[in-house]
Every structure is written in C-alpha cells, then in structure tokens.
Amino acid sequence: MTKKLKEVAFSILELAAIGEGLKVSEVLQNSLCLAQHAEALGYKRFWLAEHHNMKSIASSATSVLIGYIAQGTSEIRVGSGGVMLPNHSPLIVAEQFGTLGHLYPDRIDLGLGRAPGTDQRTAQAIRSDRLSAVHSFPNDIQEIQNYFSKSNKNSSVRSYLSESVEVPIFILGSSTDSAYLAAKKGLPYVFASHFAPAQLQNALQIYHQNFQASQYLNKPYTIAGINVIAADTTEEALHLSTSMYKMILGVLTQNMNYLQKPTAMTSEVEKLRNHPSVKQMLKYAFVGNKTEVKEQTQNFVDRFQVDELILTSYIYDQSARLRSFEIFSELMKT
C-alpha cells in the first residue's frame, strides 16, 4: 500500500549534540536556529530528548530547553521526546509542563518514556528508587493525566498550573512493552526506530491491534524515528555521515566523545559503517541526495504506514544541517 509522503507529517528530534570545539551556548543557539528554520519549512514538531552524563549531549534540562525554543518560535509545536518519567516526580512534570502550556498555549507536547536516558550508575544518582519508579510508569502517567484534568480540583494534591491546560501526552518506546500501554490508554505512540529498530514492526502491530479509543484519541496515531543526512550530492552526504558513524561508535563502546568534524570516507570508516552492530542500530539512517533519501523514506512509509516521521541528524556543520532538513522538507511535499 503506497502512502504519499505529502500525507505524512514530519518533525524533528533534537539532542543538541555538542560538536568538538563548540561552546554549549553556541550549540543551544544552533538548536534554536534549527527550530526557527524548521518552522519556516513546515515541520510539525520540534522535540528535545532527555539525556544525562553525556558530555556530547546538551539536552539534559529538557523542560528548560523547551521553554527556550518555544520562546524563539511562534507556531511549531515544541515538546519532549521525551521526559524519562522514572527520573521525575509526576507532580513536578505536571507543574513544569502546565507552566509551559500557559506560556505557549496549544504548542507544547509531553512525550513520556521509561528508559533512564543514561547509564545505570547515573540513573541511580538521579533517583535512588528508580527500579520501583520504572514499574510504576503506567500509574505515573495516569497521575500526570489526573493533574491535567478538571476533575482533579477535588483532590488533596493538585497541580493548579496544569488543570484544564491542553498538553497532549505521547507514549515513547523502543520495545513492545510501551506499545501495549499506549494502545490501552488510547494515546499516540512514538517508536525510537532511529536507534532501536529491531521491534518496530511488532510494536506498531501490537499498538494497532490493541488500540482503545479514548478522550484523547479516537484512532491510532503513530510516529517513528529515522536518521536523515541529506545533501545536494551523494558524495557530500556520505562525507557528512562520517560524523554520525563516529558518534554511534562512541555509543556502542560507551566511550562518548564530542561530535566530530566530518572526514573522508576512509576504509576505516567504511568498515565501521558496515559493522553488523552499527548497521543494525542505523538500519533506518537515510543518507544521500534528495532522490535517494526520498526513495528510502517512501519505502519506510510504505512498509510501516506511520502517520508521522520524526528526524534526528548528527551533522557537525550547522549550515549543512540546515540544508539537510531543508532538502527533507522539499521531498516530503512532492
């Protein structure tokens, strides 16, 4: 079944990757510049991912960055992709996003995940009772929903800033567990296929088969993550992609470094690119010129029939990154 790309929404997942030699302030300014660029190009959302204890990622204080991006834009939806809920108190999350919802009405999204967004030692430092918090993930989501509801006005514990504020909740997942939960609660489902593609098909199938309509959503809504590095030529895109492959090597070896400048596609990088672990992790990394990326994207949409794509992109040079997202917006409209 062919689904036209212009029928599919497209968004951005920003990790605010810190390039070697760049100040954090420059990186965050670049994130805002990208959000403004994305807004002009017709992207639907600009989400920030929560990560901790990673020197190459500047999106740790997710809710703070959401406010920064929302303040510098006017129409694009801004949110979390996501808040790692076991790291946080549901009440505090509700208060933070309720506040954002007042400041930027009908523009804030709350994506919720259960992964730590870091290593286990750091997760323990964030919250000592994290393991029990992981198991209470479904209940914590319900608690947040209660804080946003009008009916919570009779509760002894209230988030006054959240009650009746419209901040849609999305369930994030990288396995089938969250698919069941999103379906049961009738919430939109976002799969992290940009780095964990193995269970994408099964998770989407489970979500669709078990979906129960709710006050939030009357039919299933799916978003899938992809990596995109698009350029005017194939050669340029491959050159830019060397930064991504080196970054992924750091993830796999637990030796994260700053995002590196692109290099020639040497035999060493080519070997890394074709390593089974890297190929599996980056199964849905679309690299090439506009025609090539469009074909890869169309094949992905035809196979998984998602309602929306959310892109992440490890490109060192800001101008090349802006151009990549521009090319993608063009191919999605034709």
Q: Round the CA-based radius of gyration of the chain to a whole number and report it.
A: 19
Residue listed under structure tokens 């959401």: 66
Report the alpha-carbon distance of residue 293 to residue 229 in Å, rounded.
Answer: 8
Print the domain residue range for 234. Answer: 5-332
Per-residue pLDDT band at 129 (split at 50, 70, 90): low
Tens of pLDDT, residues 45-100? 999 999 888 889 999 999 999 999 999 999 999 999 999 998 999 999 999 999 99
Report the alpha-carbon distance of residue 250 to residue 258 in Å, rounded.
Answer: 9
| Count of domains for the chain | 1
* Residue 126 in this model has a pLDDT that exceeds 60: no
Per-residue pLDDT band at 249 (split at 50, 70, 90): confident
Return the structure tokens found at 104.
């930027």
- Residues written for the chain: 334
Report the alpha-carbon distance of residue 264 to residue 197 in Å, rounded.
Answer: 27
Report the alpha-carbon distance of residue 237 to residue 316 in Å, rounded.
Answer: 12
Please give the pLDDT value at position 115: 73
Q: Is 111 in a helix, a strand, or coil?
A: strand
Any idea what the CATH number is for the domain that residue 123 is in? 3.20.20.30
Closest CA to 42 of 69, 13, 12: 12
Exposure string (b/e) for 101-111, b if CB count within 10 Å is 16 or more? beebeebbbbb
Report the alpha-carbon distance of residue 22 to residue 262 in Å, rounded.
Answer: 15
Per-residue pLDDT band at 223 (split at 50, 70, 90): very high
Per-residue pLDDT band at 13 (split at 50, 70, 90): very high
Residue 298, amino acid: Q
Tens of pLDDT, residues 134-178? 678 999 999 999 999 999 988 999 999 999 999 999 999 999 999
**Do residues 300 and 201 make contact, with C-beta atoms less than 8 angstroms apart?**
no
